[in-house]
Amino acid sequence: MPVRKMRVKIHDENGDCCTITFEGSVTKEKAVHLLDLAELLGVLWKKRAERPQQTSSLSKYGKTRLLIERNFPQDWFSSKDIQNAYEKIFKEPIQLSTVSTYLSRMANRGFLMKTGKHRNQRYKMVFEDTIELPAHVKRNNSLLTMSHGY
């Protein structure tokens, strides 16, 4: 029996989420087309994020997010790491509790993943090409395979 629903979520650099849902008879071809569309949207958002930005017009949240994107794209980090980098780069103070709140919000919005508890909490950026796939679609390197008879 073919899958009846497929949903792809894409998060941009501001934590905004675009959800594409296809309902009906989801075939392998339709799933591939939907994922191609999601990849195209992700590339467009990535190019928008790569544009140089004036940091003076950004909020503290925006500066924190930009700092993570530019300085911690693949590394695990703590709230303290971000606080130290923020104060060094932007030459302005930021409370550790503020950084912790921002990181928690970013994790809730799908921009960051987190591990650990309380003082030992660590964060890492979720890659832009990471998208939610239905259980019957498995990503193997850059190949997509369908299970359940596909």
CA-to-CA distance for 107 and 9, rounded, in angstroms?
Answer: 15
Residue 42 has pLDDT above 70, yes or no: no
CA-to-CA distance for 100 and 111, rounded, in angstroms?
Answer: 14
CATH 1.20.1070.10 fits 56-125, yes or no: no
Alpha helices, H only, 19-78: 28-50, 60-71
Q: Which of 3, 20, 23, 32 has the alpha carbon at shortest distance from 145?
A: 32
Read off the pLDDT band of 49 (50, 70, 90).
low
- Residue 145 sits at the vertex; the CA angle it makes with 142 and 150, to the nearest 5 degrees, is 160
> How many residues in total does the chain contain?
150
Residue 129 has pLDDT above 70, yes or no: no
**All structural domains of the chain with their residue ranges:** 3-50+132-146, 56-125
Q: State residue 140's pLDDT score.
A: 41
> Where on the phi/psi map is residue 41: left (φ > 0), alpha (ψ -120 to 50), or beta?
alpha
Read off the pLDDT band of 2 (50, 70, 90).
low
